[in-house]
Chain A
Amino acid sequence: MYIFKLAILTLFLSVTSAQAEVPLPSISKGQGDSCVRATDDMRYNHMDYIQHHRDETMYRGIRTEQDSLKQCVTCHAVKDDDGGYINATDKRHFCSSCHSYASVKIDCFQCHTDTPRSTDIHEPLAQGQ
């Protein structure tokens, strides 16, 4: 799995640096100045952080914000020209921008919201981290 992951990322980064003809994904920036961890670290290891946090939340009731999927989705929300939020089925969605490029399929958004929700009763996002 790691080999595969690295292979994809190496390919991805080398393509980035080589500025090849393949249209690159345009990855939108999140709000604020920085991600919840070093950007490079997040690029390589975000799946492990979320996965770990997932089990911490599910089984131990730990509800810190740093690695919470809710936070990623809210802070990395992308709006289209009309000001509406973009769904994960769209390539412009932050998570999908990369994944569709690297042919990664995730099922998370079948259940998890892929955009900040106005129907939420409580505030989902503690601003910042």
Chain B
Amino acid sequence: MSEKEQVNLTRRNLLGGTAAAMAGLTIAPGIILVETAQAKPKDQPVTDAVRWGILININNCADDCTGCVDACQEENGWGKGSSDESKSRPDQKAQWIRKVKVTDRETGHAKTLPMMCQHCESPPCVDVCPTGASYKRIDGIVLVDKHICIGCRYCMMACPYKARSFIHETLTDQRSYAPRGQGTVESCTMCVHRVDDDQQPACVEACSSTFNSAMIFGDLNDPESKISKELARHGGVRIRADLGLNPGVRYQGIYG
């Protein structure tokens, strides 16, 4: 642990019970600062002291809003964010994140929510991958090492969330920090390139710049982080919790 992190921790301990109140104060609507406790110099490896997660309050998620999806496409260069994939049929195109409409059969009550890689603690995609290309980074982010992905798609078979896409054609219009290419599998990276650079994932940032602010990004391991506190206070569900995968993406308001 770096010196800086140490300092932050002790300062936190000093604050003690007032931290909660502080968090509420400092965070003005629409502007959520990344908790800097994890700030990591570029040459330092990530650690398992953190586990990144996203909490989505779908009561704040507007039905017709696709802000998170648009931001992801723009950031990572897929869908509308890229001129590629013109030959692929709609069901062959990449889908890193999508809006799903959930309707209660009895009451007819409907809500929408964003669905993407849930960054499981025990990811089935990682278990099944023959080469080890699917992996979970030590800080909880589930990724594909496209350098050793052979394109067998077993991970797509295994994913309960339909969160992964296979690239069906040659691409040329990529972002420099988000390489993508034919014949390999990809999915939401929780914007790992941004997270390593102390920024939030593009979807979370976009969501908080609308009035909705339905998404919180943060460290699930840190009981003082905004996401942990919110989870402690109001709870949050894991989709398909019955599978015991313990996703890092949690939702509020699906069944309520």
> Does a CB–CB distance below 8 Å link A and B in the complex?
yes
A-side interface residues toward B, CB under 8 Å? 54, 56, 58-65, 70, 73-74, 107, 110-113, 116-117, 119-122, 124
Please name 11 further chain A to chain B contacts, defined as beta carbons within 8 Å, in addition to the given A60-B138, A61-B192, sorted by A numbering: A59-B145, A60-B46, A61-B137, A62-B44, A63-B42, A64-B42, A110-B171, A112-B179, A117-B174, A120-B176, A121-B74
Q: Are A58 and B177 in contact (CB under 8 A)?
A: no
Q: Are B42 and A70 in contact (CB under 8 A)?
A: no
The tally of CB-CB contacts under 8 A between chains A and B is 69
Main SS of the interface on chain A?
loop
Asked if B175 is an interface residue, CB under 8 A from chain A, the answer is yes
Q: Which 6 A-B pairs have the closest CB atoms?
A: A111-B181, A111-B179, A60-B45, A61-B46, A110-B181, A124-B176
Main SS of the interface on chain B?
loop
Across the interface, which residues of B come within 8 angstroms of A107, CB to CB?
181
Asked if B247 is an interface residue, CB under 8 A from chain A, the answer is no
B-side interface residues toward A, CB under 8 Å? 40, 42-46, 74-75, 77, 82, 135, 137-139, 143, 145-147, 170-171, 173-177, 179-182, 184, 192-193, 196-197
Q: Are A70 and B176 in contact (CB under 8 A)?
A: yes
CA distance A64 to B196 in the complex (A): 11
In the assembled complex, how far is the CB of residue A108 from the closest CB belonging to chain B, in whole angstroms?
8
In the assembled complex, how far is the CB of residue A55 from the closest CB belonging to chain B, in whole angstroms?
8
- Could you jot down 13 A-B contacts, CB within 8 Å? A59-B145, A60-B46, A61-B137, A61-B192, A64-B42, A107-B181, A111-B179, A111-B184, A112-B174, A112-B176, A113-B179, A121-B175, A122-B177
CA distance A64 to B45 in the complex (A): 11
CA distance A110 to B172 in the complex (A): 7
Picked from B43, B179, B181, the residue with its CB within 8 Å of the CB of A64 is B43
Across the interface, which residues of B come within 8 angstroms of A61, CB to CB?
40, 45-46, 137, 139, 192, 196
Q: A58-B143, A63-B197 are in contact. Are A113 and B175 (CB under 8 A)?
A: yes
CA distance A117 to B138 in the complex (A): 30
Q: Are B77 and A119 in contact (CB under 8 A)?
A: yes
Q: Which residue of A is nearest B43, CB measured?
A: A64
Q: Are B176 and A111 in contact (CB under 8 A)?
A: no
Across the interface, which residues of A come within 8 angstroms of B181, CB to CB?
107, 110-111
Across the interface, which residues of A come within 8 angstroms of B173, CB to CB?
119
Q: Are B147 and A117 in contact (CB under 8 A)?
A: no
Across the interface, which residues of A come within 8 angstroms of B74, CB to CB?
121
CA distance A60 to B196 in the complex (A): 10
Across the interface, which residues of B come within 8 angstroms of A65, CB to CB?
42
CA distance A58 to B137 in the complex (A): 8
CA distance A113 to B180 in the complex (A): 9
